[in-house]
Amino acid sequence: MTAVHTLLIRIDELRPDSPGYPVTVFVDPFDSWPGGPGGPGGPGGPGELHRQGWIPRLHPPGEAGNGQQAWSASQLTEACSLLDGPYDARTAAAAGGLAQRMLDESEVWQVWSDYAKRSSGAGRPLLTLFDVRDAALRELPWELLVAPELGHQHIAQHHLHRLARARWQPRPLSALSLPLRVLLVVGEDDDKRLRMDAEVEAVRTALRGPVGDWHMEVLTTPTRQEFFQAYDQLRPQVLHFAGHCVNDGFGRAVLRLRPPGAEPWHLTGPEIAGRFAEHPPQLVVLNACRGKTISLDPAVSVAGQERSGVLRSAADGFLDAGVTALVTMLGDLESPSAGLFAETLYTELAAEQPLDDAVWRARRKLSDKYGLDRPDWALPSLTVTTAPTHVLGRRALTPRHAAEKRFEDPGAPMRLTVDRVTERRQLLDGFGPYGPARPVVVVTGPEKIGKTTLVRHALHIWHRNGAGTVRVDLRARGRSIAWRDALGMIGDALRVAYPAEADAALQQFDRRWRSEASGVTRLADHLSQLLPAGLGESVGLGEDQTAGLFRTFGQALDTLAEQGAGHGLVLALDDLSMIEEGAVHDLFAPYLLKPLLARPDTRVRFVLITGSATDNPGQILPWDVAAEAAHVRVGPFSAADAKDIFAEYGSALGFTAEVEDRWRQLVNAWAGGGQSGFGPISLIQAREFFRGRPQ
């Protein structure tokens, strides 16, 4: 028999007329879950039913059971509270043994054992999922489950086993376009035990490797209004909360946020379930806190009483909202461990590892550092509602190396740039996969401030998603150019990027030019060489002729935008100040840009970079065009953010622990200089000074 990928063990609620808790084993359930290839379970079922059994009833405290088929509520309470107090490795093994014996009594353990042997023989991990519907049994730390077949080792520690919880909540799950959006929320930063800065930096470091794959924003101790405004604006696919999950005094496990100078506020389970349901993240990580509280006495469950909705934990609220996967902590995880777990988790996700593998590697990293005598390794708990391999699945149509080859600059590698989160969000303009939401975006700012690098980063993302993307370097000639030269340089860049398509698309423009400007030779491969300065005046082009040429050129761009999969064309002109004075305002804007703005269905986008002194697009473009265009201003870094920026830059440089102290001393000295602001050149100068090569 062939090895299987997944076993789903479902434990249902106790029924009055049943001998115990119904247990069902399903084989490879994700083959029939949304996003899976289909399987014997059908589109709405959990896969192939293999075995059914019963976990004997729990007996209230003080009542005796019948031999091995009696599990007292006190035993369960002790196991449930193990990760919430003093931890003992022997007690943990006993709790894992209790879980195993329950399954053994239900006669489903043999099923697990058989499939585990097949999976081991095939050398592939077996994912075991627990879909526990009964509230009392759900609180059991299934993450501690041990297997006699593995020498009574915790299966969550074994290299050929993955363990998670499941909730049956199937829904369609589409692959995500880049960048994957992460909102990291710091609940409170005045608790030194939490060391939130280290956790934030750990996540940022993990995600900065693959250029363009991730967009991470950090909210530190926001107010309620700030939190929801940021969430609605970003609509993250990953929500990471670093802080405390506490009992609010009404029996509710809530997320606590403490804005500076204000009263703390809470996110409750019911509020989460209602507020996030419209745009739920795919993954929620509740780190460095207790994700749920054990507020239900197992004896109450035995009595058949239901848990009140007000007692739902914050974790339950996210699952109710439709979150695809949830990582919580079963107890209080100290900050160093939380940082290590987060860094490993996101490093693995950045490497496109499946979520269950990422959690397993992060758990293994904790046990490797702290051992099994501390509870750190057992605290992370993963819950999924679909196959872990489908969570955060990416839809990148262009290989990373192809995009980097087109937009990377050896003199200014994108991976060594400070993450201008706000400006990039503005440039991405709605996070559409194939370009900004508006047809025209103007990027302004001083020289040497990072405008070109910012735009290259965005072009890289759009190109990975499948859009046609071209950057035109109007500074290449080192002098001011006429409008005809600018059109020629755009044509040249299009031909280099898309040779066959651009040649075909520009043929009509070629014919129009020959018709309007008699005596001009055929427009060939290097369009700019055939349009020397002053040519327009020499052939006496009138306003109608000039407008016709621009209109035909715009039609060629429309044709190119429909090529391939029809994902559009983004043209970045860098920079506009190189075009002769008045040409952008009087020719490009009314004849090329304005028609685009008038057509909401256009697939052509222009990103206009200007190095002029003004930050007002209205001084570059006519007021009606400027009013419709998006505007991104790139300015100096704030001196108040100097330490964070230098620390991020040092992380990007890959400084080792041996040199971090010296780099930190330089950062502190630089940040204490009282500068009003600084640009990327300051980072380069600091780097060279640090390396002993001052510039």
Segment 239-262 mean pLDDT:
86
**Both tokens of residue 231?**
């969430």
Looking at the predicted structure, is the pLDDT value of residue 265 above 50?
yes
Select the highest-mean-pLDDT range: 167-181, 434-448, 659-673.
434-448
CATH number of 180-292+308-384: 3.40.50.360
Query: Between 77 and 536, whose confidence is greater?
Result: 77
Q: What does the alpha-carbon distance between residue 446 and residue 448 come to, in Å, rounded to a whole number? A: 7
Cis? peptide before 409, omega within 30° of 0: no
The per-residue pLDDT for 405 is: 78
Select the highest-mean-pLDDT range: 98-107, 398-407, 550-559.
550-559
Residues paired with 570 in a beta bridge: 469, 605
DSSP string, 89-125: HHHHHHHHHHHHHHHHHTT-HHHHHHHHHHHHHHT--
Q: Say yes or no: domain 400-531+541-633 is CATH 3.40.50.300.
A: yes
Q: pLDDT tens-digit profile of 572-627?
A: 999 898 998 889 999 999 999 999 888 888 999 999 999 766 778 888 899 999 99
**Cβ proximity of 255 and 264 under 8 Å:** no
pLDDT tier for residue 641 given thresholds of 50, 70 and 90:
confident
**Both tokens of residue 161?**
């086993």
Helices 642-653 and 657-671, packing angle to 10 deg: 150
Query: Between 244 and 179, whose confidence is greater?
Result: 179
**Both tokens of residue 409?**
């600059």
Q: pLDDT tens-digit profile of 338-373?
A: 889 999 999 999 999 999 999 999 999 999 999 988
The per-residue pLDDT for 307 is: 37
Looking at the predicted structure, is the pLDDT value of residue 69 above 60?
no
Segment 249-259 mean pLDDT:
84
Looking at the predicted structure, is the pLDDT value of residue 309 above 60?
no
Q: pLDDT tens-digit profile of 664-685?
A: 677 666 666 555 667 777 777 7
pLDDT tier for residue 658 given thresholds of 50, 70 and 90:
low
Looking at the predicted structure, is the pLDDT value of residue 690 above 80?
no
Q: pLDDT tens-digit profile of 218-229?
A: 999 999 999 999
Query: Between 336 and 2, whose confidence is greater?
Result: 336
Looking at the predicted structure, is the pLDDT value of residue 70 above 60?
no
Looking at the predicted structure, is the pLDDT value of residue 77 above 50?
yes
The per-residue pLDDT for 444 is: 93
Half-sphere exposure of 191 (CA within 13 A, CB side): 19
The domain ranges of the chain are 5-166, 180-292+308-384, 400-531+541-633, 640-692
Residue 558, class by beta-carbon neighbours within 10 Å (0-12 exposed, 13-18 middle, 19+ buried)?
Answer: middle
Query: Between 582 and 311, whose confidence is greater?
Result: 582
Looking at the predicted structure, is the pLDDT value of residue 523 above 60?
no
Mean pLDDT of the chain: 80
Of 44-48, 172-176, 573-577, the range with the lowest mean pLDDT is 44-48
Q: How many residues are listed for the chain in this entry?
A: 695
Cis? peptide before 40, omega within 30° of 0: no
Closest CA to 29 of 138, 122, 131, 124: 131
DSSP 394: B
The per-residue pLDDT for 564 is: 64
The per-residue pLDDT for 245 is: 81
**Cβ proximity of 579 and 480 under 8 Å:** yes
The per-residue pLDDT for 180 is: 96
What are the contacts of 660-664 at 24+ separation with CB within 8 A?
Answer: 662/690, 663/690
The per-residue pLDDT for 290 is: 55
The per-residue pLDDT for 301 is: 39
Q: pLDDT tens-digit profile of 188-223?
A: 876 555 567 788 888 988 898 778 899 999 999 999
Segment 226-235 mean pLDDT:
95
The per-residue pLDDT for 601 is: 86
Tell me what percent of the residues of the chain surpass a pLDDT of 90: 34
Q: Do domains 180-292+308-384 and 400-531+541-633 have the same CATH topology?
A: yes
Looking at the predicted structure, is the pLDDT value of residue 298 above 70?
no
Query: Between 527 and 688, whose confidence is greater?
Result: 688
Alpha helix positions (H), 12-145: 73-80, 89-105, 109-122, 135-138
Segment 123-135 mean pLDDT:
89
Looking at the predicted structure, is the pLDDT value of residue 37 above 80?
no
